[in-house]
Amino acid sequence: MQYAGRDASEPFNRLHSPAAKRLLRTLLVGELASPAGGETARHHSEEPHGALQSRDVDGGGAATTTTRSARQAAEAAAEEAAEAVAECVNVDDVQRLAAGRLTAGAAAYYSAGAEDGVSLADNLSMWGRWALRPRVLVDVSHVHTTTRVLGVEVASPYIAAPTALLAMAHPAAETAVAAACASAHTICCVSTTSSCSLEDVAAAAPSGLRCRP
């Protein structure tokens, strides 16, 4: 209910793909005015941790951030995040790390399931049905993790599942995930409610795998 009675165009446009925005324009019936009849009401959402913002640092003029310092800050944040992920032992560790970096709303959105969460609970419980059988005194000098998914060879049996509105987690959204998957030679599944268009995702990973089942 954060935007009840308010104009939610800004957060909608920031999180949704161009296709969704075009569809919205075809359904537009009018502008939402504030109760006082003045300018359209707006509400600024909470920014994710680490977001770069302009601030008034001298008390008189607007603060400016140079491109170089912004790039350095982004690189430092990326390096810090990579180090934190490298220390994770399992998926639960990754989820806890993400929860500390996302806004409360984004963390709740990504971790929740539809309706009563029955399918989500089933999916999680299914992992418990698989067991790893340890093997000792076995030559592992020539093992590999390659396998085939949807008829396509991938470097490991891990793919990126379709997750909606990734712009809530990072401005690069699905384009960053696609580029990472291409680098790891695995599959990136794009959600039907992605923040980026399929064209932008494909452009971000020109060497990425293409699966059209």
Could you report the per-residue pLDDT of 62-93, keeping only the tens digit for each? 445 567 788 888 788 888 888 888 899 988 89
Note whether residue 194 is domain-resident: yes
Residue type, 145: T
**Domain encompassing residue 161:** 144-213
Distance between CA atoms of 150 and 160, rounded to whole angstroms? 14
Work out how many domains the chain is built from and give that number. Answer: 1
Residue type, 160: A
Distance between CA atoms of 75 and 179, rounded to whole angstroms? 17
Residues 4, 9, 15, 21, CA torsion sign? positive
**What pLDDT, on a 0 to 100 scale, did the predictor assign at position 34?**
58
Is 194's pLDDT higher than 70? Answer: yes
More confident: 202 or 13: 202
**pTM attached to this predicted model:** 0.67
Note whether residue 195 is domain-resident: yes
When pLDDT is cut at 50, 70 and 90, the band that residue 133 belongs to is confident
Note whether residue 165 is domain-resident: yes
Note whether residue 29 is domain-resident: no
Is 46's pLDDT higher than 60? Answer: no
Is 42's pLDDT higher than 70? Answer: no
More confident: 11 or 195: 195
Q: In b/e form, how buried is each residue of 112-141, taking b as 16+ CB within 10 angstroms? A: eeeeeeeeeeeeeeeeeeeeeeeeeeeeee
Note whether residue 159 is domain-resident: yes
Mean pLDDT of 20-32: 69
Mean pLDDT of 39-51: 43
Half-sphere exposure of 77 (CA within 13 A, CB side): 13
Mean pLDDT of 95-119: 88
Note whether residue 104 is domain-resident: no
Note whether residue 9 is domain-resident: no
Task: List the one residue out of 182, 188, 187 whose CA is nearest residue 163.
Answer: 188
Note whether residue 129 is domain-resident: no
